[in-house]
Structure 1
Amino acid sequence: MSNDRPTDPASAAPTPAPGAPAGPYAAGTPVPPRPAMPPAGVPQPPYGSAPATPQQQPAPRTPASRRRSVIALIVVAALLLGAVGATIGALNRDVYSAAGFVRTYLGHLAARDAAAALAVPGVAVSAKQLAADDLPADASDALLRRAALGTLTDIELVSDTDRGNGRHEVRYSYNAGGVFGESTFDVESAGTRFPLIPAWRFHTSPLSVVNLTVEHSTSFRANGFAVDTRQVAPEGEKPAFNNVVNLQVFTPGRYTFDHESDLLTASPDKLLVEKPAAVDEATVTTAPTDAFVDAVQKAVDDQLDACAEQTVLLPTGCPFGTTIDDRVQGDAAWSMTEYPEIEIEAGEDAWSIPSTPGTAQIEVTVQSLFDGSVKQLDDDVDFDMVGSVFVTGDQKVTVVTEPAPSSRRN
């Protein structure tokens, strides 16, 4: 029998040399190196996370790709410049054009913003400029305010004519206070405000002047705004029964001039101002109201009653009186039999009371110079009353009567 036994493969495996790694690697197989430990202080990915993928460096750009990028930038820049140019062109045509400049001014008037309208270049003028435009240099600016502006709607451009040398004639239509109108404005270039954006100003101011006559009063209204002629008259000019004042107004605009108070009234005079730098005329003619006539009637009656309290034959400052050839004994006693029915009409310097009849009664004792007889005289004395009427600033009525040219005893 043989002593040989089957050999165990495991027991037949070679024993690794000292220092060699253990594992299922056959002899001669290269052993992978262990990963090097990172230096201390370098942050490590959390346990179990995937290992960081090394970043790839971009491929170097070729001349062709650089050319394509430059061309793309040029195209984008050209498109942007074109868009900016188109926008500026549209703004210059619609907003910053001569027509757009005038439209801005008209828009302020439509909004009843008088201050903004006056601030538009070329609108406000001095006395010297008014005179240069053949307008009254003393014209007041009292109506260049919101309270005196009317309505302005339906503003439409009619034409914009280039006259050369930076001058334009711009024509607009509109509805001013319910009346259709058209106005032409003279506009000139004023340089540029920003690159490529033009600026404009009125070559001729769009202001006009209204020459207003106010008859029989020192006050009037313009579109409901009350004005005292003493406030708008030239310096040093005294108020009168009839007054003439010059007033600057915006063009275009519809203005209604009238008067309304407890004592006086006037039919409205409506005026459409549509031509810049022109003089338009209007008149306010006042007439007495029933309240005025009643006030004058009362003042006259009171004055006649005061005259009747005098105990003389010829009351001082009164429209009636009488003379007696005989001797008067005692005081005379007057009373009113019929008061004059007052009418008022306009005079040269004041309201006047035309000759109006009335009757007073006198009672007095007289002694005859012929035979010495004494009798009681009781007579009606007819008279004609004439007077002037004045209205003070606080609407008080003053009547000044004139001694009647004749008094007749019945």
Structure 2
Amino acid sequence: MAAVVGETTGRSPVPRATLLWLGLGALVVVLFFVTIAVLNSTVYSASGFAKSYVDAINRGDTASALALAGVQPTGASGDELLTVSEKGAFRSVRVVGDVTERDGDHRVAVTYETTTGAQEQTIRFTIRPSGTFGGLFGRWEFATPPTASIDVTPRNDPRFTADGVEVTTKGADLATRYTVLAPAAFTLSHSSTYLTARDTTVSADAVGQVVSAAVDVEPRASFTAKVRADVTKYLRTDCLPQKVLLPSGCPFGESVDDRLTGDPTWTMATYPAVSLQPTATAGVWDVVAATGVAHLNVGAESLYDGHDYTIDKNVPFRVSYQVTIGSDNGLTITPK
């Protein structure tokens, strides 16, 4: 039979809208895999892992930094600095190298500057694959824990602060080793009621590095002034009023062979200057031996010829005390 004029033969053409949707779907799939590839080469790469770790330290997120490092504090002595925030310790953090070794490990180099110094530092990590998550993104871990050690010696007192957090060692003048996340940059100091120390900056910029720092604890001016005031008050209120030649419990006195005709009168010509020095015992300070001058005035009668005369003389003396700082910050001053 002949075909009717105008009749359509064969399959109908695919609608244009369907072709458009198929194209969009293909584009989405392509973009999805491109996105995965980009993320795996940046955020979820070995270098991205290393930078995320250093960034966590720098923003003070110690929990995330410890988790990325695979390090957990045990509460033992030496772990105290692992949880001290280093927020804002670094600037200009960037990855400058990522070399893949034959075994699949990555040698990643990260540079940064500490906020306490302009010199650029470079730290290197060894990072290895540890599987994937979601079946799409790479997981990474440190082949070697990114830690370093700081040996801190607090002089004259067992306490110091690290970025404002107080730490107590086993004893003054003893070096204690602390584990820290690397890179690390701490300001060590001391600040208590009577003692102080200048800030000391210590940094560790290599995995496995051991660095040393000392905190020189010194008496505050107010500590010396307080001891001076207490010594002066004791001499003035406990010693000078005693109407005897040898005041009890006092550092000065005078022996007279003749008979006294009146009560001795003591005044202070020069109070001893007070300065402090540390001892081998934490919390105990010595008052450096200092000289004062008391003045004695008393009438006397000579046993030789019976004439009366007046003793009016300066009596030099030396003082030496030990000062103990109590747990309540009270001071105990003991003659030596």
| TM-score category of the 2 structures, normalised to the smaller one | 0.7 to 0.9
Q: Structure 1 residues 121, 340: closer, same or farther in 2, change over 3 A?
A: closer
2:313 is matched with 379
Query: How do residues 307-386 of structure 1 correspond to structure 2 at under 5 angstroms?
Result: 307-326=239-258, 332-349=264-281, 350-364=284-298, 370=304, 376-386=310-320
CA distance in 1, matches of 2:148, 2:249: 50
| Cα offset, 1:162, TM superposition | 2.2
2:5 is matched with none
The answer as to whether partners of 1:122 and 1:204 remain within 8 angstroms in 2 is: no
Q: Structure 1 residues 217, 61: closer, same or farther in 2, change over 3 A?
A: farther
1:390 to 308, 312, 324: 324
The answer as to whether partners of 1:125 and 1:205 remain within 8 angstroms in 2 is: no
2:90 is matched with 152
CA distance in 2, matches of 1:110, 1:209: 18
**Other structure's SS at 1:84 match:** helix
Q: Structure 1 residues 314, 244: closer, same or farther in 2, change over 3 A?
A: farther
Paired amino acid for 1:155: V
**Other structure's SS at 1:183 match:** strand
1:36 is matched with none
**Other structure's SS at 1:92 match:** helix
| Cα offset, 1:256, TM superposition | 1.7
2:107 is matched with 169
The answer as to whether partners of 2:150 and 2:180 remain within 8 angstroms in 1 is: yes
CA distance in 1, matches of 2:174, 2:300: 54
The answer as to whether partners of 1:139 and 1:209 remain within 8 angstroms in 2 is: no
Identity %: 29
CA distance in 1, matches of 2:259, 2:82: 68
The answer as to whether partners of 1:172 and 1:182 remain within 8 angstroms in 2 is: yes
1:122 is matched with 70
1:86 to 1, 26, 34: 34
| Cα offset, 1:318, TM superposition | 2.5
1:24 is matched with none
Paired amino acid for 2:61: D
Paired amino acid for 1:208: A
The answer as to whether partners of 1:299 and 1:398 remain within 8 angstroms in 2 is: no
The answer as to whether partners of 2:130 and 2:139 remain within 8 angstroms in 1 is: yes
Q: Structure 1 residues 383, 61: closer, same or farther in 2, change over 3 A?
A: farther
Q: Structure 1 residues 253, 329: closer, same or farther in 2, change over 3 A?
A: same
Asked if residue 288 in structure 1 is aligned to residue 219 in structure 2, the reply is yes
Query: How do residues 141-220 of structure 1 correspond to structure 2 at under 5 angstroms?
Result: 141-142=80-81, 144-146=83-85, 148-177=86-115, 178-179=117-118, 180-220=120-160
CA RMSD of aligned residues (A): 3.6
Structure with the greater alpha carbon radius of gyration: 1
**Other structure's SS at 1:120 match:** helix
CA distance in 1, matches of 2:145, 2:234: 56
CA distance in 2, matches of 1:76, 1:60: 30
The answer as to whether partners of 2:69 and 2:146 remain within 8 angstroms in 1 is: no
Query: How do residues 39-54 of structure 1 correspond to structure 2 at under 5 angstroms?
Result: none
Q: Structure 1 residues 120, 292: closer, same or farther in 2, change over 3 A?
A: same
Q: Structure 1 residues 168, 311: closer, same or farther in 2, change over 3 A?
A: farther
CA distance in 2, matches of 1:106, 1:60: 69
Q: Pick which of 108-117 and 367-376 moved more.
A: 367-376
| Consecutive unaligned residues in structure 1, runs of 5 or more | 1-58, 128-136, 403-410
Paired amino acid for 2:79: S
**Other structure's SS at 2:107 match:** strand
CA distance in 2, matches of 1:113, 1:258: 23
**Other structure's SS at 2:65 match:** helix
Q: Deviations over 1:272-303 (max 9, x none)?
A: 22112332211111333332332222122012
TM-score, normalised on structure 2? Answer: 0.80
CA distance in 2, matches of 1:277, 1:218: 26
| Cα offset, 1:382, TM superposition | 0.6
CA distance in 2, matches of 1:192, 1:365: 101
The answer as to whether partners of 1:327 and 1:366 remain within 8 angstroms in 2 is: yes
Q: Pick which of 151-160 and 383-392 moved more.
A: 383-392
Q: Structure 1 residues 94, 363: closer, same or farther in 2, change over 3 A?
A: same
The answer as to whether partners of 1:338 and 1:358 remain within 8 angstroms in 2 is: yes
The answer as to whether partners of 2:160 and 2:188 remain within 8 angstroms in 1 is: yes
CA distance in 2, matches of 1:367, 1:166: 104
CA distance in 2, matches of 1:206, 1:366: 83
Q: Structure 1 residues 355, 125: closer, same or farther in 2, change over 3 A?
A: closer
CA distance in 2, matches of 1:380, 1:188: 82
Q: Structure 1 residues 162, 126: closer, same or farther in 2, change over 3 A?
A: farther
